[in-house]
A = this chain, B = another copy of it.
Amino acid sequence: MKRNSRLALALHTLGHMAADDRVRTSSIIADHAGTNPVVVRRVLGKLREAGIVQSEKGPTGGWRLARDPKNITLADVYLALGERLIATDAPDDAPSCSVEDALHRRVSSMIAGIEESFVARLAATTIAEVQEAEKP
Q: A residues within 8 Å of B by Cβ?
A: 2, 8, 11-12, 15-16, 19, 32, 34, 74, 85-86, 89, 92, 97-103, 105-107, 110, 113-114, 117-118, 121-122, 125, 130-131, 133-136
Contacts of A34 on B, CB cut-off 8 Å?
Answer: 92
- Selected contact of A121 from candidates B19, B97, B113, CB within 8 Å: B113
Please report the C-alpha to C-alpha distance between residue A135 and residue B15 in the assembled complex, in whole angstroms. 50
Nearest residue (CB) in B for A111 is: B118
Please report the C-alpha to C-alpha distance between residue A121 and residue B109 in the assembled complex, in whole angstroms. 11
Q: Is the CB of B134 within 8 A of A19?
A: no
Q: How far is the CB of A80 from chain B (nearest CB, A)?
A: 16
Known contacts A118-B114, A122-B110; decide if A99 and B2 are in contact (CB<8 Å). Answer: no
Please report the C-alpha to C-alpha distance between residue A121 and residue B85 in the assembled complex, in whole angstroms. 15
Contacts of A100 on B, CB cut-off 8 Å?
Answer: 12, 15
Q: Is the CB of B99 within 8 A of A19?
A: yes
